[in-house]
Structure 1
Amino acid sequence: QHSRFTFVFSCDFQESIEGNFHVSWIKTDFLKDVEKKDLFDVYFSANFIRRRARKYPARFYNAPLTFHRTTCGIKILGFPVRIDNKKYPRNAFYFNMCFVCDAWARTVQYESVVKKLSDFLTALEVENSFLSQREENQLNAMRLTEMMAQALHDLNSTGTCTLTEGCSSTHLKVTKIRSDPPPVLDHQVPVIVENMDVYQSEQWDLTTQQVLPHIDGINHVAKIAALADVENNLVKTCLQNLVYYGVICMVPIFQYSNCYAVTSKLRKLAVDRKLQDDCLRAVSRSSWQLPHFRDAFKLYCSMNHGTTVKDLCLRFNLQLLKIDERKLVQFGLVEGLIRRIHKYPTIVMDGVSGEAASLYPHFTGSFSYDEICCLLGMSALQLDAMVEKDANVTVVYR
């Protein structure tokens, strides 16, 4: 299960003779109960920082640490940091930026956020003693409280947060834990499925900044690599990362000779009003005049084995229906309403040569038309012509 953060706090400890211990709180409804706050304050200061600072070896620092407090019904996710420097009493300064949520919540998706925020604070401490000099510099104390409040609000409301202090800044994002996406292939087409307005250009690495302008739902991976002048494997790694975070999805190349078949998810389109509205906005030729839903649904239902996109365009007047066939196919693929029926040329008999003998290494039944055309730089029409002339080659549809 997932949970919003209940509150956030930072604490630091300098192992001096006095044992100075500081805690900064961002007050929320949880902390309105004074007794609960006192209990938590005493417990945490006594056990979570001092005990670890004095007894635990260095390897326990700079790693996510989850701590349960059943008395309060909470789970604490921190990232204990130890900074070794002779300017500190006993040559060390310890701090921990902690996020707190319900005891039952799953917190693994927050670990990267806590680590990145701790790294940001570590850099500020090393540069100008941002944490250790809070008592002497009240401005630093105020800024830390403001940053914690901003992180708590932004991460709970949007899942993203940008913090800036002086010339330093960091971007935080709560990500869903997903399974690794399948490898990105040269002949696939990336399609943006998330609102890009929520991102800032500086949030992307250099490769992503070069690749994004060429993602238009038409260009395949190999073409994007050429247009962006970026090495092919780097582009595929970049796109796979964007797939993982749900920014894009990969679909087959669009061609008028393609065949598609409906999936069981098409039933959802018949009853889900929001999905219907999204569909009409997505497939419309213009934003000011939407098509009728029955026309879009009828086109999807007409997709089957042996019926190409060209056949649909000839059978129905899509311009009159105000439907863009490319957008229709793309929306159907992204939402899983339809699937591509691929063609796989396969040799019938080994040891026999025909008109397309030079392509036999690719006619194993494992390479689709899209893969072969992209790899050899030929059109589907050219490949069709060669396959039709060779009696030793048959085409498997699946």
Structure 2
Amino acid sequence: MPTRAIKAIFFTRFHHEKGSRVLHQVPEGSITPSTSPSALNAPLFDLDSITTYLIPTQQFCDHLLTFCTNHYRVIGYPVCIRENKYYRNEFIFNFAVVIEENVVDWGCWGEVVRKLGRLLRALEEQGGFLSREEKGVWDDDDDKMVYKKGYKGFGDLADLDRKADSGVWDVGPVASGSKVYALCEMILEDLNNYCECMIPIDESNTINLKLFPTHAPPAPIHPHHVPILTISLASLTSPISSDLTITRILPFINGTHSVSHISQLADTDLSLTRKAIQHLVYYGCVVVLDVFSFGAIYAPTAEIGGFITDKVVGEECARYVKVPRISIGRGIKMGSESDRGRDDRSSISSDTHRSEHIASTVTATEFEGVAKQTEDDDFKISHETLITLYTSLRQGLTLKNWCLENLDLLHDIDVRRLITFGVIKGFLYRVHRYAIATSSSLPSAPPTKLQDDQATIRGKLNHKPSVASNFTGNTGTGVKQEDIARLDSLVSDPERDALPLIKFLGGMHSFDEICTELKMSEQVVENKIKGVGDVQFIYR
């Protein structure tokens, strides 16, 4: 979000006889010429050309309006209050903000202007906050107003109305002593400096505004994705959310469990779990990675050059990937048992059966800092060692074989954390494996007679007899068993094994997705796919 993006704030009123008038502007001279010593040399744009949009027709009131002029974007929220106490039963105003036209994320300022317009409407309806300051402003025109184009001496009322229809009037020194003018000043300074403001109006009213950046919609979350926290839950003084699904899944987000596995551990609906993690990704609390596997292939991207030259990132990586050396005391068990099955996780098979013991005893939320632990300061991982390890990753080399090649350099280094750091920073990417079956290898469609028999059997299985049905329970059971046996005899074993895999053999589904969907290990899925027929595996 750019700093000091608000170039001007102004308050416009409409009078049915005197036309539109800029009562307040900050800074002075930004909208209409001003004689103030601190005024700008020239207005930011020609106000005559946009008067129609500042005070539009009734159907556009109480709606957010934005338009561009002279490389600036004006964001306004015109308001029309209809009550008998006002002249001609209407009170029309607009509180507008001016920012540069090239600001892409201007929607957050639009929400602030919308909220401010509604707040000022409520303040006016409650106690006349805006109209109280206009006493005498519309009466003493000869002493207080100067026509924008230099016209002095108003003449008769008809002449005044014609000029007011084409021009805007500005109030000079009178505006600087009002509460609305002070409100404009505080909003501009606070939003530009702090992106938020809290301005007390009276004993019972306070204006609270905050600029919330607009993030791009997060990518879809799939069951085989692995979320990893970017914040430390232990440092939070209050729950991260009141959402029940988020509260239940947070303890299981540890950087190793997939979305499907988290849904099972937390006993939550998979669709709700995916949506909850998508919300966490949107607000920057979670990043999504692929399932870590020693049978996977990783390779460096073009961003590896930045890691090589940036020693600060290298030191951060060294702190993150170093295996902590914790002093052993009474009541603390050694981690050998939990690490015993580390090398066995060469696939993502165990979403439903995977052990809760993970490869690293350090949680992923320590990515931004160093855990409080007892470490051996004599041994430090050098930046050159990390560069050698990352650059030795390549296409066609599985992570398991890479570990065997670099066994001497991996001393006191957590491999999972090493890979995770590179993927999050963007200088490593996962090489996925896909299966593509040729048309000749796919099972042919069953004959028409077989399809008819299957449809008949399914109809009998799904049929629910009414209360008045003459079929007894025993007869129904016998028919179902007979139909099930008949259905099994219509489909051969190879065809039955191939049917669930056919939809994944188009080259668009990675092995991570297939294994998670079928709840099978990578080796089992590979054998089943090879049994289908002529299938090619590609890496990309």
TM-score range, shorter-chain basis? 0.7 to 0.9
Equivalent positions of 1:34-73 (< 5 A) are 34=37, 36-37=39-40, 39-40=42-43, 44=47, 48=50, 51-52=52-53, 56=57, 58-59=59-60, 62-69=63-70
- Output the CA distance in 1 between the equivalents of 2:322 and 2:409: 10
Aligned partner letter, 1:252: D
Q: Where do residues 377-396 of structure 1 align in structure 2 (5 Å cutoff)?
A: 377-384=519-526, 386=528, 395-396=537-538
Range with greater deviation from structure 2 (320-329 or 345-354): 345-354
Instruction: Answer 1 or 2: higher relative contact order, Cα 8 Å, separation at least 6.
Output: 2
Change (3 A) 1:355 1:54: closer
Segments of 5+ residues of structure 2 without an aligned counterpart are 134-177, 325-369, 445-493
Query: What is the root-mean-square deviation in Å for CA atoms of aligned residues?
Result: 4.7
The alignment of Structure 1 onto Structure 2 pairs a total of residues equal to 381
Kindly state the Cα deviation for residue 115 of structure 1 after the two structures are TM-superposed.
1.9
C-alpha spacing 1:196/1:80, structure 2 compared with 1 (3 Å): farther
Structure 1 residues 125 and 331, CA gap change in structure 2 (3 angstroms) = same
> How far apart, in 2, do the equivalents of 1:384 and 1:68 lie?
62
Distance 1:227 1:141, change over 3 A: farther
Q: By how many angstroms is 1:11 displaced?
A: 0.7
Aligned to 2:105: 109
Structure 1: segments with no counterpart, 5+ residues: 156-160
CA distance in 2, matches of 1:189, 1:64: 42
C-alpha distance 29-38 of structure 1, shift in aligned 2 (>3 A): closer
> Does the CA-based 8 Å contact 1:9-1:24 persist in structure 2?
yes
Whether the 8 Å contact between 1:83 and 1:94 is mirrored in structure 2 is yes
Structure 2 residue 78 is the aligned partner of structure 1 residue 81? yes
Distance 2:35 2:257 in 1: 55
Structure 1 residues 115, 195: closer, same or farther in 2, change over 3 A? farther
Q: Give the whole-Å Cα distance in 2 for the aligned partners of 1:230 and 1:206.
A: 12
Which residue in the other structure is 2:298 paired with?
A: 260
Residue 251 of structure 1: which of 270, 274, 289 is its match?
Answer: 289
Q: Does the Cα contact within 8 Å between 2:54 and 2:94 map onto a contact in 1? A: no
Q: Return the TM-score normalized by structure 2.
A: 0.56
Sort the Cα spacing of 1:347 and 1:118 in 2 relative to 1 into closer, same or farther, 3 A.
same
Alpha-carbon offset, residue 265 of structure 1: 2.7
Within the candidate set 498, 509, 513, 1:357 is matched to: 498
Partner of 1:158: none
| Aligned residue type for 1:106 | N
Alignment partner of 1:295 is 2:380: no
SS at 2:102 equivalent? coil
Measured after TM superposition, the shift of residue 153 of structure 1 is 0.9
| Residue pair 1:342, 1:369 contacting (<8 A) in 2 also | yes
Please name the residue that 2:226 is paired with: 189
More displaced stretch, 33-42 vs 58-67: 33-42
Could you tell me which amino acid in structure 2 is paired with residue 84 of structure 1? Answer: I
SS at match of 1:311: helix
Deviations 1:313-350 (A, max 9, x none): 44445896332211211122223322212223444623
Residue matched to 1:172: 211
SS at match of 1:367: strand
- Give the letter for the 1:109 counterpart: D
* Distance of 1:75 and 1:269 partners within structure 2: 39
Preserved CA contact (<8 Å) 1:134 1:141: no
Distance 1:194 1:37 in 2: 45
Which of 400, 403, 409 is residue 310 of structure 1 equivalent to? Answer: 400
Q: How big is the shift at 1:66? A: 3.1
Scaled by the length of structure 1, the TM-score of the pair is 0.73
Structure 1 230/5 Cα, relative in aligned 2: closer, same or farther at 3 Å? farther
Measure the CA separation in 2 of the matches of 1:305 and 1:145: 59
Cα separation, 2, equivalents of 1:227 and 1:167: 45
Give deviations 1:118-174, integer Å, cap 9, x for gaps.
22223323433289614748767655543332112123xxxxx36576577454223
- Of 113-122 and 51-60, deviating more is 51-60
1:196: how far off?
Answer: 9.8
The answer to whether the 8 A contact 1:10-1:97 is kept is yes
Structure with max Cα Rg: 2
Q: Deviations over 1:61-86 (max 9, x none)?
A: 623423434xxxx6243223223332
Q: Aligned to 1:173, what secondary structure does the other structure show?
A: coil
